[in-house]
């Protein structure tokens, strides 16, 4: 994938988005999907509350008085983020973000994230505001705009995509708390939705900010570090880790790190960013006493959460 500073400006057909509005009918990752607790042996996974959002997350204590009055995001021309649209790998899966997803439609499960992520950095570098009309999506451009419709009650909102995720449990989009409220999915925590990008228009006359931008950025597939051979040999407690993700964007890696800190909360395992002498920022968990123990955790993650990280040495 090649990102050029001349590309990446996107805009919905405003008529399509503003004409639809929220239908007046009846009534959660991660940052993301906050979190199951992962232990090497005995700690059970955290339980979902009321069918959707995760233990310890939820609505804030001082929500605005009238959440329904918060307006939809208004589509406008914006340059694509310089780094958040590069190819990346998270939880064993490689994602290639779209740059011109005309007529994009996706049906699946939406979740929402609340106070545990409020005030934290997103993949775009912006601060997450649970009372703003925003969302996280694995591949839609950052930033971009999408209409999300709750297929159970036909309510609809327009959100600005400024983050990456969700990456687990077959969810397709993470909504801000207020967007989820307006769609009527806060109590259940998740719902089947339709995500639509009706039209995107690139304006070649508008360029990305020049500061720090190279003439072109060439993104090649991320090649994981070679998996270590099976061995019962013990290693020092400081050098056996599991790799959870790899990014070419520092901000995307930091956003993913925040999500993983929620996923591993209570497990006693440290989650950290790790970079070698290259431009890839990796997200590692550990350390583990032995390679075998790390592999055992990886197997459990695959069974319970649907992805299998691989063992690396620092």
Res 109 pLDDT > 70: yes
Report pLDDT digits (tens) over 73-99: 988 888 888 888 999 998 888 999 998
Res 206 pLDDT > 50: no
Confidence of residue 113 (pLDDT cuts 50, 70, 90): confident
Q: What angle do CA 235, 236, 241 make, to 5 degrees?
A: 75
Res 15 pLDDT > 90: no
What sign does the dihedral 209-213-215-217 (CA atoms) show? negative
User: Which of 185-199, 209-223, 236-250, 255-269 has the highest average model confidence (pLDDT)?
Assistant: 185-199
Confidence of residue 144 (pLDDT cuts 50, 70, 90): very high
At 163 the pLDDT is 94
For residue 150, list its beta bridge partners. Answer: 193
Q: Which residues of 218-254 are buried (b: 16+ CB within 10 A; e: fewer)?
A: ebeebeeeeebeeeeeebeeeebbbbbbbbbbebbbb
At 218 the pLDDT is 28
At 60 the pLDDT is 62
| Position with higher pLDDT, 137 vs 269 | 137
Report pLDDT digits (tens) over 16-54: 343 344 433 333 333 433 333 333 232 333 333 333 455
| Position with higher pLDDT, 12 vs 70 | 70
Least confident of 42-56, 246-260, 284-298: 42-56
Res 134 pLDDT > 80: yes
Residue count of the chain? 314
Angstrom distance (rounded) from CA 270 to CA 301: 16
Tell me what the pLDDT averaged over the chain comes to.
72
Q: Spell out the CATH class of 220-313.
A: alpha beta
SS3 of 244-265: the string is EEEECCHHHHHHHHHHHHHHCC
Confidence of residue 223 (pLDDT cuts 50, 70, 90): very low
CB atoms within 10 A of CB 270: 12
| Position with higher pLDDT, 201 vs 101 | 101
At 304 the pLDDT is 65
In CATH, the number for domain 2-197 is 2.40.40.10
At 66 the pLDDT is 85
- List the chain domain ranges: 2-197, 220-313
């Amino acid at each position: 994938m090649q990102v050029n500073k001349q590309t990446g400006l996107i805009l919905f057909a405003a008529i399509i988005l503003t004409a639809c509005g929220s239908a007046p009918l009846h009534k959660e990752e991660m940052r993301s999907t906050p979190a199951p607790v992962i232990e090497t042996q005995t700690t059970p996974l955290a339980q979902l509350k009321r069918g959707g959002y995760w233990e310890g997350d939820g609505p804030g204590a001082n929500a605005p008085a009238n959440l329904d009055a918060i307006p939809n995001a208004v589509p406008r021309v914006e340059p694509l983020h310089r780094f958040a649209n590069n190819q990346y790998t998270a939880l064993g899966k490689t994602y290639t973000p779209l740059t011109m997803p005309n007529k994009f439609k996706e049906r699946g499960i939406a979740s929402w994230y609340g106070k545990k992520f409020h005030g934290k950095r997103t993949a775009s570098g912006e601060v997450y505001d649970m009372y703003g009309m925003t969302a996280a999506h694995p591949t839609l451009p950052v930033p971009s705009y999408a209409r999300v419709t709750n297929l159970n009650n036909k309510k609809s909102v327009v959100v600005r995509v400024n983050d990456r995720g969700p990456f687990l449990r077959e969810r397709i989009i993470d909504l801000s708390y207020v967007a989820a409220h307006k769609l009527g999915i806060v109590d259940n925590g998740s719902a089947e939705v339709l995500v639509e990008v009706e039209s995107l228009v690139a304006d070649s006359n508008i360029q990305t900010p020049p500061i720090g931008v190279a003439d072109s950025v060439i993104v090649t597939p991320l090649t994981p570090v070679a998996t270590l051979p099976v061995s019962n040999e013990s290693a020092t407690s400081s050098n056996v880790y599991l790799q959870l993700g790899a990014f070419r964007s520092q901000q995307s890696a930091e956003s993913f790190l925040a999500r993983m800190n929620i996923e591993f909360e209570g497990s006693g395992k440290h989650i950290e960013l790790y970079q070698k002498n290259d431009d890839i920022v990796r997200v590692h968990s550990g350390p583990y006493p032995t390679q075998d123990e790390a592999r055992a955790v990886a197997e459990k993650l695959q069974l319970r959460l649907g992805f299998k990280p691989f063992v690396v040495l620092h």
